[in-house]
Structure 1
Amino acid sequence: MNPIWLPASLLGGLFQAWRTALQQRLRAELSISGAGLVRYLYGVPFAFVFAGIWLTVQREAIPVFGAGFAAFAFAGAITQMAGTILLIMAFGHRGFVVGTAFSKTEAVQAALVTALFLGERLPLLAWIGIVAGVAGVLMLALAGRGVSWREIWRALGQPAALCGLGAGSMFALAAIAVKLATAELDGVDLIGSALITLVVVMATQTALHLAWVSVRDRDTLRAVCRQWRTSSQVGLLSALGSACWYIGFAAAPAALVRIVGQVEVIFTIGFAHFYLREPVRWHEIVGLLLVVGGVMMALLATF
């Protein structure tokens, strides 16, 4: 594994939590579709800039895109879009912190899928870290109520849980698709392949989402244009966060990147408390500590 995966994963968590906090603010002004659109529409110009600067500095040419790359990049674009919409829907049911917490089951889902279909094996300590992280997510999801099978079942049956779990599944599939797409590019280094994949994925997402709102929801398109100041910030953070994630996926097993990326929950609680003015309760602190412990175990398992 290339060691760049670790700082990339940590920075990806920071930028994603920051971007999602801004998106939550936009939900008051835009529809769910509009809040998702700004991520792609305002993010793709920054993605082009990042890729262009890197290829220029490295003196590398744009590689030829094969059918395999196109298929994996398209799959990554679709699943990431679906995950984003489901995550924003979860916010509307239970709030910013818990909506994000439900989606963090993505780490477990990615680990299981890659183990079954890609043959990526993680050490036992990493799996223990995954379990600890899931326990932390569960603590957040149950909102401080007693952890019993009845409460677990009730929590999982709520709309926020279903949206969050669905978002986690989509993000896990997107991570795997992106990793496979970067592996299809020849003639560029690891970072170059990640940034080129980012451009293609975000351009695809922008085209698809613009086509949808142009036909079905033109009011949303006008609202997105009016909110260009905040939307451009969301786009920049989206491009930065996705660039970090994609570099991490290209450099290490997708499940490991997502396990470490659970530090996003730390940043999420911070943004929820200081930026969105949501109160932080005792069970969120306990859940936070479990998530941090899970991340630390996953890191120890790699050395």
Structure 2
Amino acid sequence: MEPWIIITIAAAFLQNLRSALQKHLQTSLGTTGASFVRFGYGFPLAILYVLGLHFLARYSLPDLNGTFWFWALVGGLSQIFATMMLVYLFSLRNFAVGTAYSKTEPVQAAIFGLILLGERLTPGAIAAIIVGVIGVMMISMARLPLSWRNLFIAMTGRTALIGIASGAVFGISAVAYRSAALSLGGPNPVMQAAVTLACVTSFQTAFMLVWMLIKDKREIGQVLRSWRSSSLVGIAGVTGSACWFTAMALQQVAYVRALGQIELVFTFMASIFLFRERISRMEAAGCLLIVTGILLLLMWK
């Protein structure tokens, strides 16, 4: 099995764990605070990760350049706003369905990868991605009588649009991170990904801290008081991001993010057993179609 596959599955599990922890935090911190903790409590670990690779593994540090900083800032800002949309989405639908809406990302990542990096997909891969999109459509229709009118309403409703927008911005951030890591031309993909992660999370922490100082200073105090649970989000977030960044330095973004849809398996387990949420048959069938699309993508890539 190729390394990027194992790394991506680990990233998906950690991302689901982080999202579940953020859903709990949202009730006490709000959308902004719950979004901030993944960066604020994660960036020290990202810096330690780079230092460990440099001093213990003897990996040399790459030279940062203007292209790297451009893509790092684009990716960092995109991820902040995508995370805020996803956390807000959890308050509109249940955990599993909210996550599934954002999983239109592979389609959009493939488009952005083609436009920005010139990365093309095979016809089989495109067909597999379409299967996943049909699954998303089924989820959006799960609570409405089946008709073309209701399908249009479901796909253009507030929840769907926020979820799809979240997936689009996550797709932009993923392509930007791959571009940033590749621009370093460093000693190896692991170090390139680690340096990208450390720089991005440090910038995101500073940006969101200024944002909260301007918008709501009380949120900062709440984040500090919830350090026990918030630090768990930071740990899960930064370790998951390290896996995502490394996988995307090794493989095209569309393939990595498509395989990352395996997160839905972990999401359903969390939704049913942790949050005690009920999932309808059509919602389950839609998510199974998304997973089927992932498996087909790996077979036909």
User: Structure 1 length as normaliser, TM-score?
Assistant: 0.95
Counterpart contact for 1:93–1:159, Cα < 8 Å:
no
Letter in 2 for 1:289: L
Q: What per-residue deviation string (whole Å, max 9, x for no partner) do you get for residues 106-159 of structure 1?
A: 110111222234221212221121111112222222225355432221112322
User: Structure 2 length as normaliser, TM-score?
Assistant: 0.95
Once residues 44 and 268 of structure 1 are traced to their aligned partners in structure 2, the CA distance between those partners, rounded to angstroms, is: 25
Number of aligned positions between the proteins: 301
Aligned to 2:19: 20
Letter in 1 for 2:76: A
Aligned to 1:69: 68
Counterpart contact for 1:194–1:243, Cα < 8 Å:
yes
Letter in 2 for 1:280: I
Moved over 3 A (4+): 144-148
Task: Give the superposition deviation at 1:52.
Answer: 2.0
Letter in 2 for 1:91: F
Once residues 16 and 120 of structure 2 are traced to their aligned partners in structure 1, the CA distance between those partners, rounded to angstroms, is: 28
Gaps of 5+ in 2: none
Once residues 53 and 47 of structure 2 are traced to their aligned partners in structure 1, the CA distance between those partners, rounded to angstroms, is: 10
Counterpart contact for 2:61–2:191, Cα < 8 Å:
no
Counterpart contact for 1:64–1:185, Cα < 8 Å:
yes
Which stretch of the first structure deviates more once superposed, 145-154 or 122-131?
A: 145-154
Once residues 262 and 199 of structure 1 are traced to their aligned partners in structure 2, the CA distance between those partners, rounded to angstroms, is: 25
Aligned to 2:111: 112
Once residues 147 and 199 of structure 1 are traced to their aligned partners in structure 2, the CA distance between those partners, rounded to angstroms, is: 47
Gaps of 5+ in 1: none
Letter in 1 for 2:206: A
Once residues 215 and 102 of structure 1 are traced to their aligned partners in structure 2, the CA distance between those partners, rounded to angstroms, is: 31
Once residues 166 and 63 of structure 2 are traced to their aligned partners in structure 1, the CA distance between those partners, rounded to angstroms, is: 32
Q: What per-residue deviation string (whole Å, max 9, x for no partner) do you get for residues 79-110 of structure 1?
A: 00010011112112122222211111111011
Once residues 101 and 93 of structure 2 are traced to their aligned partners in structure 1, the CA distance between those partners, rounded to angstroms, is: 10
Aligned to 1:225: 224
Q: What per-residue deviation string (whole Å, max 9, x for no partner) do you get for residues 36-66 of structure 1?
A: 0101001111212222222233312322211
Aligned to 2:200: 201
Q: What per-residue deviation string (whole Å, max 9, x for no partner) do you get for residues 3-58 of structure 1?
A: 32211211111111111011000111011100101010011112122222222333
Aligned to 2:172: 173
Percent same amino acid at aligned positions? 36
Once residues 46 and 146 of structure 2 are traced to their aligned partners in structure 1, the CA distance between those partners, rounded to angstroms, is: 43
Structure 2 residue 267 is matched with structure 1 residue 268: yes
Structure 2 residue 47 is matched with structure 1 residue 78: no
Once residues 144 and 126 of structure 2 are traced to their aligned partners in structure 1, the CA distance between those partners, rounded to angstroms, is: 26
Q: Root-mean-square deviation (CA), in Å?
A: 1.5
Once residues 146 and 42 of structure 1 are traced to their aligned partners in structure 2, the CA distance between those partners, rounded to angstroms, is: 44
SS of match in other structure, 2:247: helix
Letter in 2 for 1:128: A
Once residues 270 and 61 of structure 1 are traced to their aligned partners in structure 2, the CA distance between those partners, rounded to angstroms, is: 41
Structure 2 residue 245 is matched with structure 1 residue 246: yes
Aligned to 2:57: 58
Once residues 275 and 301 of structure 1 are traced to their aligned partners in structure 2, the CA distance between those partners, rounded to angstroms, is: 35
